[in-house]
Structure 1
Amino acid sequence: MVHSPKEDPHPGALVRTAEQARNIARGFLLVSAPNGGSGAEAVLLVVSELFANAVQHAGGVTGFRLEAGPGTVTVAVDDASTRPPRPHSLDPRTPGGFGWHLVQELSADVQVKVHAGGKTVSATIRCPTGVGRQPSAP
């Protein structure tokens, strides 16, 4: 199951804020991972962080996708910058700088793909989904 809000047929449906992205992710998780528990919470945190990082450090989001796989949910955020994310040193006296570390900690896999139009940051989170499960025998 894949959801790409950028391709939503409704005018003005492009996701512009982290709050909108989280709301879309909640709806996606209700369908693809209704029993996702802490995995679903991790997905929402990763959506927030990737979206906020793209807005703050890369000029904004140009694409946003969610994909459910067997026991996983992948969050992909596109932006127009070709600069890959950089971890900041963790200093509790300095605000910020924790997001990239949080994404890496919550994700089973994180990939950054630079392309002509910018980059895509994808994070795969372990989350119980209905994808790839065999139906129970009666």
Structure 2
Amino acid sequence: MEYTLPRTAVSAGRARKLTTAFLTRPRPRLAPPSADQVDDATLIASELVANAVRYGRSNCRLRLQLGHGRVTVEVHDDSPGRPRIGVLDAESESGRGLAMVQELAHSLEIVNTGFGGKTVRAVLAVR
């Protein structure tokens, strides 16, 4: 599923709602993610969209996939800047988002699109 979100502060909250709805929707052929996995994926989507809104120059795209034993959360923005993963420090007020994503995800990758933008992809194992 793919969603286009505007470059506004409310988009991170919208990403949380969309991710939760997507992952909790009944699917007869797939085992549902656990509540903890839904929470992790929702936090990841929120953090990635918040970064895209903060550093991008236009709308961002949130893509969610469930299958093959994993949840994939991708966010694309048009900023050519490569995000930096900060230190996961409970005392910091900002700069921890990607560090949290890296802790929660099975894998984290940043892919330059070649058109001045990038996609940040986080994959979580499901059961």
Give the paired residue count: 118
State how far apart, in whole Å, the 2-side matches of 1:36 and 1:90 are: 25
* TM, length-normalised to structure 1: 0.75
Partner of residue 53 from structure 1, selected from 48, 51, 54 = 51
Q: Which residue of 1 aligns with 2:97?
A: 99
Q: Secondary structure at the match of 2:79?
A: coil
Name structure 2 gaps, 5 residues minimum: none
Q: What is the aligned-residue identity percentage? A: 35
Contact 1:51 1:61 in 2 (8 A): no
Q: Which residue of 2 aligns with 1:125?
A: 124
Q: Secondary structure at the match of 1:67?
A: strand
More displaced 10-residue stretch of structure 1: 50-59 or 106-115: 50-59
Structure 1 ranges of 4+ moved more than 6 A? none
Q: Secondary structure at the match of 2:47?
A: helix
Name structure 1 gaps, 5 residues minimum: 6-13, 129-138
* TM, length-normalised to structure 2: 0.81
Q: Which residue of 1 aligns with 2:67?
A: 69
Deviation at 1:87, TM superposition (A): 1.9
Q: Which residue of 1 aligns with 2:5?
A: 15
Contact 1:29 1:36 in 2 (8 A): no
Contact 1:43 1:125 in 2 (8 A): yes
State how far apart, in whole Å, the 2-side matches of 1:108 and 1:122 are: 11
Q: Secondary structure at the match of 2:5?
A: coil
Q: Match of 1:121, as an amino acid? A: V
Deviation at 1:92, TM superposition (A): 4.7
